[in-house]
Amino acid sequence: MTDTPDLEPTEADRPEWTKAHGPLRSFGRIKSRPIKARQAALFDTLMPRIAVPDPAKGPIDPQVLAPEAEEVWLEIGFGGGEHLAAQAARNPQALMIGCEPFLNGVASALRHVEEGGLKNVRLHADDARAVMAALPEASLDRVMILFPDPWHKARHNKRRFLQDETAVEIARLLKPGGRVRFVTDWLDYADWALERLDRTPGLTRIMTEGADWFAVPADHVVTRYEEKKLGDTTPIFLEFARDASR
């Protein structure tokens, strides 16, 4: 959902975790325009209270983060946080974990959390893969990947977030019956994602009779980024469920 150009980041731009983790870089710049003073202040006041524990320091247990939560949702690359905040407000029973390396987006999300008085949101201002690796098996009810960076150039396709290994990791994290939703407005990325999700053991595509992949789910939240229509197609929605027998 982050509106970023197809840039090659420099080593100085890389967060410490991604330097140690490996070569895959599924996002562009870390920060663009200056962050507004009010939002910058939230990094000091609000962020410490709702930040996901550092995954480099050990496993992350959602039941410890929110013992009262009935469900746990993960949004990977939440952009400006509009969708994350709206879903959190609609679903107070769910713990919403959001990951986003673009600092301007995190600043925007913090504002949405504060203005909405949301108590069920936890944020990670960095690469989602670190959090995913630290979460226990079958711990998530939903995973959402909305409008990820398409990395158009063929030589950059390897930087796309959705790879075979990330699809397998998503399947590991979903509870039986849990769902992953992937949304893009680039046709080639939809084909790419469908191919990888389709061949992931344990995942089955959810097909609604009479609907195709342009059908908008009833609970979808349209964001300003989506309204920009930067892609080459109407948004495409792919939804898969974790097999109940696992």
Asked if 149 is an active-site residue, the reply is: yes
Task: Provide the number of structural domains found in the chain.
Answer: 1
| Structure confidence by residue, pLDDT tens digits, 66-121 | 999 999 999 999 999 999 999 999 999 999 999 999 999 999 999 999 999 999 99
pLDDT at 156: 77
Q: In this predicted model, what pLDDT tens digit does every residue of 48-67 receive, in sequence order?
A: 999 999 999 999 999 999 99
Q: Is residue 208 part of a domain?
A: yes
* Max avg pLDDT among 6-15, 129-138, 153-162: 129-138
- List, as residue ranges, the binding site: 75, 100, 127, 149, 153, 185, 223-226
Distant-in-sequence, close-in-space partners of 176: CB < 8 Å, separation ≥ 6: 138, 242, 243, 244, 245, 246
Q: Report pLDDT for 19.
A: 41
If you average pLDDT over residues 214-220, what whole number do you get? Answer: 93
Pairwise CA distance, residues 219 & 217, whole Å:
5
**Is residue 55 included in any domain, yes or no?**
yes
pTM attached to this predicted model: 0.85
Round to whole Å and give the CA distance between 46 and 9. 28
Mean pLDDT, residues 186-201 taken together: 96
Domain containing 222 equals: 11-242
Out of 149, 212, 219, 243, pick the active-site residue.
149
6 in any annotated domain: no
Tell me, what CATH number does 37's domain have? Answer: 3.40.50.150
The annotation places the binding site for S-adenosyl-L-methionine at 75, 100, 127, 149
